[in-house]
Structure 1
Amino acid sequence: MAKASIRMSAAERRRSVILASVSAFAKGGYNGTSTQAIADLVGVSQPYLFRLFPSKKALFLAAVECCIEDTVAVFEAAGPGLEGEDALDALAEAYWGLISDRNRLLMQLQIYVTAGSDDLDAADRERILLLWRRLWDTVAARTGSDVAEVTSFFAHGMLINTLVALGVPEGDRLWEGLDRTGPDAAPACGALPR
């Protein structure tokens, strides 16, 4: 008896391509990732991929948007009813869940590398900056924190990104002064809200 295949809607297929591209770009970077590799990951043809996204750059920018918007959604859902330092702590805890998914962490780093390269133009960089401002504004609005507190939150986050990306082990002196001891303290990443 033939196995029935489940058909995805166009929106579901598009989302699956974007998620596969996050994984691929996270590992290979913009220049080291081919659209064929992404098509292979998701199980579609390269021509079909180009029907969904007109170019590799358009696919990369969709992956950037996905990465940042998923982070915004996690921050918006974290610690309902909390404000100030308690809310910042809840957002930080939620962020550990995000970066325990190594692809999400590395994709963030690839965003910064590619945004500073010649692969993107000024309009592309402005689009990424608008997304990043949305992330910043979400933290500020969600927590009611002032500029200095939001700056500190993001500064700590970037330090944590660096330490986790480098694989600095739990208990290393570089983790001193942070609320957590290291990557082994991070919870397993669950499903991201959609």
Structure 2
Amino acid sequence: MTKDAKISINRRIDIISAAIEVFAETGYYRATTAQVAQRAQISQPYVFRFFATKEQLLLSALEVSWLRIIKSFRQVIESATSERLQAEFIETYEKISESHRNEMRLQMQAQTIQEVPIQDAMRYGFREVHRMVLEAFRQAEISNPEESTMLFLARGMLCNIAEAIHLPELKDR
């Protein structure tokens, strides 16, 4: 890979990181690419060099957030014992939520956006996480894996809400 290609990849990552922060703080509709550019310390036209539209930027940000969860859950599946699987999923998601709060907020906001590509991205993420967890629960022979999967996902959403509205007692185990 050339030096210019590495710089380009790094700059793209910087832009996505800035977009995650700006979208999470101000909301997708109120956020501007100028704000994203300012946060990334670049010019606004440079943002459009990588992303033709604000929607494409949001889709890339959502992809990053879902891939982080999916990759982390794959690691849990590869390393956790059957007895620790549920606890490891919970602990992993809590760590992601704490260290990447803006990504969680971004996903929460994206759930309410009606544009089809954004809904598709959210459906993909939820489906993939659901599929992975359900398959892992079945492999671990956890009783009633379907219900356990739904409870796990519901708990994750409740934890996101609790974090967003600063109501920690909703997260207590």
State the TM-score, normalizing by the size of structure 1: 0.75
CA–CA distance in 2 between the matches of 1:112 and 1:124?
8
Of structures 1 and 2, the one scoring higher in RCO (CA 8 A, sep 6+) is: 1
The aligned residue for residue 141 of structure 1 is 135
CA–CA distance in 2 between the matches of 1:125 and 1:165?
21
Superposed CA offset, 1:62-97 (max 9, x none)? 111111111111111236432545212101101111
Any gaps of 5 or more consecutive residues in structure 1? 1-5, 180-194
What amino acid is aligned across from residue 125 of structure 1 in structure 2?
Answer: Q
Flag as ranges the 4+ runs of structure 1 deviating above 6 A: none
The aligned residue for residue 24 of structure 1 is 22
The aligned residue for residue 47 of structure 2 is 49
CA–CA distance in 1 between the matches of 2:83 and 2:158?
19
CA–CA distance in 2 between the matches of 1:91 and 1:63?
23
The aligned residue for residue 91 of structure 2 is 93
The aligned residue for residue 130 of structure 1 is 124
Any gaps of 5 or more consecutive residues in structure 2? none
Say whether the 8 Å CA contact 2:107–2:122 is kept in structure 1. Answer: no
CA–CA distance in 1 between the matches of 2:134 and 2:94?
19
The aligned residue for residue 188 of structure 1 is none
SS at the partner of 1:167?
A: coil
Q: Displacement, 1:22?
A: 0.8
Q: Displacement, 1:143?
A: 3.8
- Alignment partner for residue 36 of structure 2, among 35, 38, 54? 38
Aligned residues: 164
Residue 168 (1) aligns with residue 162 (2): no
Q: Displacement, 1:150?
A: 0.7
Q: Displacement, 1:128?
A: 2.7
RMSD (Å) for aligned C-alpha atoms? 2.2
Say whether the 8 Å CA contact 1:76–1:142 is kept in structure 2. Answer: no
Superposed CA offset, 1:123-171 (max 9, x none)? 44223312321122222234435221110100111111111211124xx
CA–CA distance in 1 between the matches of 2:119 and 2:103?
20
State the TM-score, normalizing by the size of structure 2: 0.84
The 1:84–1:156 alpha-carbon spacing in structure 2 relative to 1, beyond 3 Å, is farther
| Bigger mean CA offset, 129-138 vs 147-156 | 129-138
The 1:10–1:143 alpha-carbon spacing in structure 2 relative to 1, beyond 3 Å, is farther
The 1:110–1:123 alpha-carbon spacing in structure 2 relative to 1, beyond 3 Å, is closer
